[in-house]
Chain A
Amino acid sequence: RKEVEQDPGPFNVPEGATVAFNCTYSNSASQSFFWYRQDCRKEPKLLMSVYSSGNEDGRFTAQLNRASQYISLLIRDSKLSDSATYLCVVNNGGATNKLIFGTGTLLAVQP
């Protein structure tokens, strides 16, 4: 099983749509979870941290399910500017604490 696994997409959605991405991670000792956004050939930028209780930031909602070891990101009312690759990032937990990146899910919001 890959350390962090995401559906690569692409997800092609119309403006205004709601879209959800899932991510699974293999290390049950992982403690920190994030969603990053990466535009083409740019650096990853932190979108939001993911907390056990779930958290929301405007149109974005992140959820964590520790029992099933998956994280989700929901984007409501998609904008053209949301088009990007969304990276699921998990710390490796245990004795090593590096951040592991998923391969990313490509979102294309269509006018």
Chain B
Amino acid sequence: EPEVTQTPSHQVTQMGQEVILRCVPISNHLYFYWYRQILGQKVEFLVSFYNNEISEKSEIFDDQFSVERPDGSNFTLKIRSTKLEDSAMYFCASSERWAEKLFFGSGTQLSVL
């Protein structure tokens, strides 16, 4: 069964450092998303991406965040200067159609110290 893969599974970084979280969406999917979940809280939308551009972003997705699809398979989330409050599980997802049946990767647990 095709799946979304994310690397790394865990990332520990110092406050102020840049991190890049990587995702390989399901190959025939056209829509890509990043969500995050702070421990004990709900899954929150960050950004959606289609046709090599951002379709929509939340208020969480400020100038410190960026996304990129550098080649035909990878989809990355970059946080330029991490803050303590960026510590969360970051989930990548993809779907065949817009905001329909999202399939999630297993997540990257980001810990900012």
Contacts and interface: CB of A to CB of B under 8 A. Distances in A.
Nearest to A103: B42
A90 to B, nearest CB: 10
B106 A43 contact: yes
Contacts of B79: none
B105 A43 contact: yes
27 contacts: A32-B100, A38-B43, A41-B89, A42-B107, A43-B91, A43-B104, A43-B106, A43-B107, A44-B91, A44-B102, A44-B104, A45-B104, A46-B101, A46-B103, A87-B42, A87-B43, A97-B56, A97-B98, A98-B45, A98-B56, A99-B102, A101-B42, A101-B43, A101-B44, A101-B45, A102-B42, A103-B42
Interface of B: 33, 35, 41-45, 48, 56, 58, 89, 91, 98-107
